[in-house]
Amino acid sequence: MTLLPAQSGLGHALYVHYGLDPRNYETNILLSDGMAYFKAEAGIRIMEGLGFPWSLAALLRLLPRSVRDWLYDRLARNRFRIFGRRASCYVPGTQYQERFLG
C-alpha cells in the first residue's frame, strides 16, 4: 500500500478525476485493482489489508452502504475530538518511506 497526500499534484488530480472537491477533503480514495473506493468502503478495504483483528471490519458490510457512509461521515467530522490532534504532521520513519508518494 502506498499513501499519497491529497494536497499533492497527483492527489489533487485524482480528486478532480473522481468528481470530489479538491479543497474540501471529505473522504480518502483507495485505488485497488483498477477500482476506486471512497468513504466507508475504502476504510473497510484498508482494514481488511491489515489482517486480524482489523479485518473484522468487513462485518460492517452487513449494513447498507448509506448507513456505513453516514457513520464514516460522523467519525470523520469528530475525529479530532475522538482521537485527539497532533502538534505536527506525521513524518514516517525511514523504514516506511517507500510507502509514501509526494
Q: What is the pLDDT of residue 1?
A: 61
Structural domain count of the chain: 1
Q: What is the pLDDT of residues 52-99, one digit of tens each?
A: 999 999 999 999 999 999 999 999 889 888 888 888 777 778 888 777
**Alpha-carbon gap, residue 46 to 51, rounded angstroms:** 9
Has residue 2 been placed in a domain? no
38 forms bridges with which residues in the sheet? 29
Q: Which domain holds residue 37?
A: 9-82
Q: What is the pLDDT of residue 94?
A: 85
N- to C-terminal Cα distance for the chain? 14
Q: What is the pLDDT of residues 35-49, one digit of tens each?
A: 999 999 999 999 999
pTM confidence score: 0.78
Has residue 92 been placed in a domain? no
Has residue 24 been placed in a domain? yes
Cβ-contact 1, 101 below 8 angstroms: no
